[in-house]
A and B are shown apart, each in its own frame.
Chain A
């Protein structure tokens, strides 16, 4: 056992020294490899973190949301509908919600405005997210103004600033009273944005949704689990698409690696020839090549992963965010919660290390079976 470990250790030692002797060639390979791992890992980590954030948000979402559509487009919903929907068995409560978005021209940002179900601010005062507070430099007690639907500015006193578990939700959020919101957005008294339903038994979701759409054919009931599924599929699809696009990069890398592995320099061939002449066996050379591949792969993999981690979780994926996030790029900045699991690392491994290894098996075998006398002659 110890002999075997010693043998591996000596061969590894030799390989490392040999790699360091050809810094230029191996450095180029290593940096391209690291770049590839970095790109793929960034995509994976970022999507996963977004999924995680979305799941956190949706845990708090109502079980069923009822919207109204007209000519296939979204419309405000009459508050009176809630009374009939409340009569359906299994529906515990129906709550008409008021919310919407507001684009701030001066600060180039999109805000989410919402009337909270419980503990709304007094008319004239608002609660804001940390992103808005940071951007507008506004603190508790300050007065802040936004232009309403008619273009007239309305001013509010800041009651509170959020600091929540999921920054994605609260970063751009403004909470205000019902009276203020109707005045601000122009939604009539008898209308609301949508209806939020509370249903205790998950098995009844589908039946209740069906009853609602029969009751009001122009309504569009959406079940929470469907939103979760859709978000997941969407983020998964986006990152998959990015990976397919970067497959061209991966292919280029594989060709590069193949070229590097096949194009042994005369010096390297001579080196292998000498090793065999002094008594190394083909299997020893194969082992050396195995360690060479492992050292390069492992270094690139670790380096790429660490860089991607820093990129995604410290700079909020500055390079890819616009493509994967998909919504307003004017969004206030937010920081993601770090999260990595086995699946991501294994996926990354299969997309980078496996193709590299497969590409280099045959060239390294060729190198290992060189006849010593042909190269040294």
Chain B
């Protein structure tokens, strides 16, 4: 294990978050089993009070998870030169097979927490807690992911062995050590550009339709999911190249660095917020028939669609500006 401050911070926060989510799941089971709005029992009153606590816990969790996602990448990047052949976070994450799963779990839990908060917000609008069961079921689905993330992240960091000099000799121990693939497989750029822009276009169209006519919630949600995936593939395939101005550097993490003006932070934050709010529209669609939410859900969906569209739009604008105004031209690669 490497006793780096960043790693310690990530481990500590993951443990705390896991404890919090275990606590919240314990109460969700009780809520799922015993919730009865018609009852005036002491238990029901206690459960109603707990809902405040749990929604606060999840809101904090969402904020922490966003920072921890970036800190994870940043830490992986900063310890990369401890491994032979690793140039940046990509190399560090491939050192052990737990690297990418950790990152994936962090993204998944972030999105789930975002969706939960949307559901919670909608639920609070109705006078009779119409979504309470769905909400706590989602929390129970989320908890295993959070625990898995803590375990996988722990296994990843505990398993890292830096290639350093020992007192008897230098290079002989490191030379035969593992080979790290520092490059990421990238999709060909020209077709990917077409896929990226068309998926964004369809997402905008679906969003506009939802906004104006209030129709096609599921379609918009699935499109924003697709837009998320294509954006990630596009960042690796061609967007990052315009930031690095290099035809062979496909790293999705280096754009978070100072050398590239921290451009990755706005890009990824926009991408994630567009996706969470977009998926939230689809999630709410399912409950639009609830009587007490009949009015609020369409309005909320419009709001979410507007946020999602703005985020994806800004993302596309930043990317397009970089493509147009960068000194780098990517024809023929």
Binding site for B on A (CB under 8 A): 43-44, 47, 69, 72, 205-207, 209-210, 213, 220-223, 225-230, 232-234, 236-237, 239-241, 243-244, 282-283, 286, 290, 341-344, 346-351, 354-355, 357-358, 361-362, 365, 368-369
Contact = CB atoms under 8 A, between A and B. Distances in A.
Contacts of B16: 354-355, 358
Given A283-B52, A358-B20, A72 B168 contact: yes
Given A43-B5, A346-B71, 13 more contacts: A69-B168, A209-B175, A210-B175, A226-B165, A230-B165, A232-B79, A236-B3, A236-B4, A241-B3, A243-B8, A286-B52, A346-B9, A350-B68
Interface in B58-79: 60, 64, 67-68, 70-71, 74-75, 78-79
Given A205-B171, A286-B56, A362-B53, A341 B5 contact: no
A282 B2 contact: no
30 contacts: A69-B168, A206-B171, A221-B170, A221-B171, A222-B170, A223-B170, A225-B84, A228-B81, A229-B81, A229-B165, A230-B165, A233-B2, A236-B2, A237-B3, A237-B4, A240-B8, A286-B52, A346-B71, A347-B71, A348-B9, A350-B13, A351-B5, A354-B13, A354-B64, A355-B12, A357-B60, A361-B56, A361-B60, A368-B52, A369-B52
Contacts of A233: 2, 82, 162, 164
B7 to A, nearest CB: 8
B154 interface: no
Nearest to B256: A342
Contacts, number: 146
B105 interface: no
B231 to A, nearest CB: 22
Contacts of B9: 346-351
B82 A229 contact: yes
Interface in B1-56: 2-10, 12-13, 16, 19-20, 49, 52-53, 56
Nearest to B54: A365
Contacts of B193: none
Interface of B: 2-10, 12-13, 16, 19-20, 49, 52-53, 56-57, 60, 64, 67-68, 70-71, 74-75, 78-79, 81-84, 162-165, 168-172, 174-175, 258, 262
A70 to B, nearest CB: 13
Contact of A213 (B7, B169, B262): B169
Contacts of A283: 52
A341 B84 CA distance: 24
A252 to B, nearest CB: 15
A140 B307 CA distance: 67
A135 B12 CA distance: 44
Nearest to A282: B52
Contact of B5 (A44, A222, A227): A44
Contacts of B168: 69, 72, 220
Contact of B81 (A206, A232, A234, A349): A232
Contacts of B12: 350-351, 354-355
A28 B121 CA distance: 36
A34 B258 CA distance: 28
Nearest to A72: B168
Nearest to B46: A369
Most buried by A among B2, B5, B84: B5
A240 B4 contact: yes
Contacts of B84: 225
A209 B4 CA distance: 29
Contacts of B3: 236-237, 240-241, 244
Nearest to A240: B3
Nearest to A66: B170
Nearest to B75: A343
Contacts of B56: 286, 290, 361, 365
B118 to A, nearest CB: 17
B275 to A, nearest CB: 22
Contacts of B4: 236-237, 239-240
B169 A369 contact: no
